[in-house]
Amino acid sequence: MVKRGATIWDYIAWASLIGVAIWLILKLFGFINTPAWLEYSPLAGVVYIAGWAMHKLDRASEDINHINRDVRDLRNEMKPINENITKIKTECPIFDSK
């Protein structure tokens, strides 16, 4: 599995989330009085965060698909080995259990 570090977009998303949370708290306590057209601007931050979350889920899905392909390949590579081991067990007198 490929471990990815935080990107600049992750930091932007977290800053946006924290900004929306602070704005919401200040708005609830009455410190911020904004006109109606500005009142809905934090929704842009929420939309961005939703897109960021979907991007993260898409990356996780890609990683899982990659792992599934690797496991499938390993199973296919193991089949001949298992067949050879079975053949050795049946033909080798050391493995005869009497």
Q: What is the pTM of this model?
A: 0.46
State the pLDDT at residue 4. 67
pLDDT at res. 21: 85
pLDDT tens string 52-61: 888 888 888 8
Residue 1 lies in a domain: no
pLDDT of residue 59: 87
> What's the number of domains the chain is made of?
1
The DSSP call for residue 40 is: T
Residue 2 maps to a domain: no
What pLDDT digit, counting tens, does each position of 62-89 carry?
A: 889 999 999 999 999 998 888 888 888 8
Give the number of other CB atoms < 10 A from CB of residue 56. 13
3 in a structural domain: no
Structure tokens that stand for 34 in this block = 């904004």
Give the domain extent around 78.
8-95
pLDDT > 90 fraction of the chain, expressed in percent and rounded: 14
**Nearest Cα residue to 46 out of 25, 21, 29, 27:** 21
